[in-house]
Amino acid sequence: METIELKKMTRELCHELYKDWNNDESIYMDMSLFKTFSYSEASVNRYFDLKNESSRIMFVIMLGDRPIGELQLKQIDWEKAECTLSIHMQNDTVKGKGFGTQAELKAVKYAFDELGMIAINADAIIKNTRSQHVLEKVGFKLVREDGDFKYYRIER
């Protein structure tokens, strides 16, 4: 099986990642908001700058030297030692091959072992059963559900 690595996101890798990016319909609750992604250098620069903040670590999922997805540990609360995980693979060619599962497992380990977190939260909209399945496979437990979202949590 091919193995991925998590690297800290850089501006350069962010551009490389987003040049071949497609938004996935499964994260849109309201499909009227869905837009096909189109790359622009300026918007990726803006995005990278916006996400570069102290309560967030942006990782790029690397398959060899190729960026194939983005994983974030965000809303990092150092006092509570909790954060929230989000993930999105680059496009359909890299989904369903086990890479998302590998990336989440590595991110959970990093959050617990390197950041000293005691809990990680995640959520997925109800229709996103693939994401829910992967979260559960990695060890997240369903803690709550409302009309729109399922909320998950894993504790050290």
Ligand X SMILES: CC(C)(COP(=O)(O)OP(=O)(O)OC[C@H]1O[C@@H](n2cnc3c(N)ncnc32)[C@H](O)[C@@H]1OP(=O)(O)O)[C@@H](O)C(=O)NCCC(=O)NCCS
Applying CB under 6 A, the residues found at the interface with ligand X are 24, 26-27, 87-89, 95-101, 124, 128-131, 133-134, 137
Q: What does the block give as tokens for 55?
A: 């309560």
Report the distance separating Cα 103 and Cα 61, nearest Å.
7
How far apart (Å, rounded) are the C-alpha atoms in residues 35 and 138?
A: 30
Of 24 and 60, CB closest to ligand X: 24
| DSSP state for residue 71 in the 8-state scheme | E
Closer of 79 and 92 to ligand X (Cβ): 92
The least CB distance from residue 30 to ligand X, in Å, is: 15
- Closest distance to ligand X from the beta carbon of 3 (Å): 12
CA distance 154 to 136: 9
Give me the least distance between CB of 79 and ligand X, in Å please. 25
* Nearest CB to ligand X, comparing residues 15 and 97: 97
Residue 9, classed as helix, strand or coil, is coil
